[in-house]
Amino acid sequence: MTQQLTVTSSPEADSVGAVPQVVASLPVSLHPSDDGAAALVGIAGSSGWTERAHAAISSRARGILVIGPSPEDVAALRERAEASGVPVVIDTEWAHNPAVGVAAPHFAAHNDADSLLEARVNAPVGADVDQVVLAQLALIRAAAEPVVSLAYARRNKRGYDALAQLAGGGQASLTAILTDAIPQTASLRIIKPRNAVTLALPGAGTAAPGKVTVSRPEGATLLPTLWESAHRAAWRRLHALVDAGQTCDDLRGFAEDAALVTEN
């Protein structure tokens, strides 16, 4: 039987993560609450989010969702969350989209030391570039493997172009365009001599499905995916972790990605 857990969130978290809409779409699992002692807490990832996460743990939160985090030192938070048994799920723009999990084994099958992973995102004008980079790095980590080094060829208020090294020895090209002319989207692609894998994702605020296409000489196959927003999938994951009494290591991956952002 599914355990229903109470949820509280700040107005800022509601704005960036559509928390009330997500909670309303999961009535069996989640229930909104104004109680400061709610089981699950949604936190916006703007400056000071690690302090707010510490405060939530002090208030006996059983699980925390951080939405669109900016780079911060998470060492102390990670230690406290592990000691308290509180899962802290990092909800970035694309990493939790259900299509990412569908695509991951296909990227793994084609990703090697000779591969080039092409990654592109489109984000709104005025978006925090650090947060855009972190969201793109989180997507690459979830769909393929972690980025271990990053060098910019261009970075300004309109976006960036960068070349990255992946943990397995392959390379990745990262591009971001900040524009209001087209919707917020992301894509990943690996092209090999006889095969290709492409992942195309909408923004986290829509339940429109991501698309995974596997191409071979005999034709292209569009794989089935789920109609669910990345935000909703992130909350479902947090609920499942708390319900099972498990933690997660999102903060470790975030710390590694944030280190790449802050050192460039």
Residue 34: what are its φ and ψ, rounded to 5°? Answer: -95, 0
- How many residues are recorded in the chain? 264
DSSP-assigned beta bridge partners for residue 117: 172, 190
Confidence of residue 32 (pLDDT cuts 50, 70, 90): very high
User: Hey, which bits of the chain come out as E strands?
Assistant: 5-9, 30-32, 40-44, 63-67, 88-91, 116-123, 147-156, 159-166, 171-178, 185-191, 196-202, 211-216, 219-223
Which long-range CB contacts under 8 A does 131-134 form with residues at least 24 apart?
131/45, 131/68, 131/69, 131/70, 132/159, 132/176, 132/178, 133/160, 133/174, 133/176, 133/260, 133/261, 134/69, 134/70, 134/71, 134/92, 134/254, 134/257, 134/258, 134/261
User: How would residue 226 be classed by pLDDT, with cut points 50, 70 and 90?
Assistant: confident
Rounded to the nearest integer, the mean pLDDT of the chain is: 95
Q: Give, rounded to a whole angstrom, the gap between the first and last alpha carbons of the chain.
A: 48
* pLDDT tens track for 118-151: 999 999 999 999 999 999 999 999 999 999 999 9
User: Which CATH number applies to 5-92+230-262?
Assistant: 3.40.50
pLDDT band at 263; cut points 50, 70, 90: confident
The string of pLDDT tens digits covering residues 79-105 is 999 999 999 999 999 999 999 999 999
Burial 200-212 (b: 16+ CB within 10 A, else e): bbbbbbbbebbbb
Whether 2 has a pLDDT exceeding 80, the answer reads no
Segment 170-181 mean pLDDT: 97
Tell me the domain boundaries of the chain.
5-92+230-262, 98-223
Same fold, 5-92+230-262 and 98-223: no
H helices within 97-219, ranges in order? Answer: 98-110, 129-143
Burial 28-48 (b: 16+ CB within 10 A, else e): ebbbebeeeebbbbbbbbbee
Residue 115 pLDDT > 70: yes
Taking the C-alpha atoms of residue 2 and residue 120, their distance in angstroms, rounded to an integer, is: 38
Look at the block and give the residue holding tokens 């903060």.
251
Q: Residues of the chain with pLDDT > 90: what percent?
A: 91
Q: How high is the pLDDT of residue 225? A: 79
Q: Tokens for 51, please give them.
A: 């302090």
Question: pTM of the entire structure?
Answer: 0.95
Query: Which pLDDT belongs to residue 264?
Result: 74
Residue 1's pLDDT band, with cuts at 50, 70 and 90, is low
Question: What would be the CATH architecture of the domain defined by 98-223?
Answer: 2-Layer Sandwich (3.30)
Q: Taking residues 172-176, report their average pLDDT.
A: 98
pLDDT digits (tens, 9 = 90+) for 205-214: 888 999 999 9
